[in-house]
Amino acid sequence: MGCFKRIALVPIKDFRTAKSRLAGVLSVGERQTLARWMFWRVLSQVRRSGLFSEVVVLSKGSLLQGSKEGFPVHVVEQDPRLELEEALNAYFLESPWAGSEHFLLPADLPLLSRRDFLGLMLCLKKDGYEGLLVPSMDGRGTNGVYLKNPSGQRLAFGTDNSLSANRALLERSGIYPGTYYSLGFALDVDTAEDLLWALHNGLPFRGPV
């Protein structure tokens, strides 16, 4: 695969069980369709940004291989017993590409656009950060992490305030991250309220919801 200059890292779960918290408003098939659509939309916006040489998908199974519309997608299969935090920490510790620039982002960002990525890179160029954190809508979750050199770096997810936890972990490693606010990165879809918010703010999805 060679040396990557800048990598977009996208963890995904099994589409067959994705978005279980939407069970009250969407059927199993509709949840699968929505999850797949958001995932491929995220990858398409990564490509449209023109800022990444590769995208690496951290997956719990062989859900996809090869490319989508000519865009290379490298799949790293994680141990299915690992939670997201453990899988990411193992990747940054063991991956041969961990010394390259990485931007970690979720697979469920329905409003993400090229403009969000360009704003992110302008922030990095302006202030020269070696790390950057992107908050979720509530300002407590982490919906993006940029690391200039993530080799061996630990991150925290699944906590009540992962943003503060990740800031502390980075500072412990000598990285003092900036913060980048963006609606496209902030809104991930986990609940019916998230879905309604996205629909009211221009969600371009034209599926069964």
Question: Domain segments of the chain: what residues?
Answer: 6-200
Q: What 8-state DSSP symbol labels residue 63?
A: -
Least reliable range by pLDDT among 33-37, 138-142, 198-202: 198-202
- Using alpha carbons only, what angle is made at residue 159 by residues 87 and 58, rounded to the nearest 5 degrees? 20
Instruction: Please compute the mean of the pLDDT values over residues 41-57 and round it to a whole number.
Output: 92
Q: Supply the pLDDT for residue 203.
A: 66
Q: 48 is written with which tokens?
A: 């449209």
149 token code pair: 């050199």
Q: Which of 59-63, 80-84, 170-174 comes out lowest in average pLDDT?
A: 59-63
Long-range CB contacts (within 8 A, 24+) of 168-174:
170/131, 170/133
Note if the pTM is more than 0.85: yes
How confident is residue 206, by pLDDT bands cut at 50, 70 and 90? low
204 CB neighbour count, 10 Å cutoff: 10
pLDDT band per the 50, 70, 90 thresholds, residue 169: very high
**pLDDT class for 62, splitting at 50, 70, 90?**
low
- Note whether 195 and 189 are within 8 A (CB): yes
Is the pLDDT reported for residue 7 higher than 90? Answer: yes
Domain 6-200 sits in CATH 2.60.40.10: no
Could you tell me which of 21, 29, 145 has the C-alpha nearest to residue 89?
Answer: 145
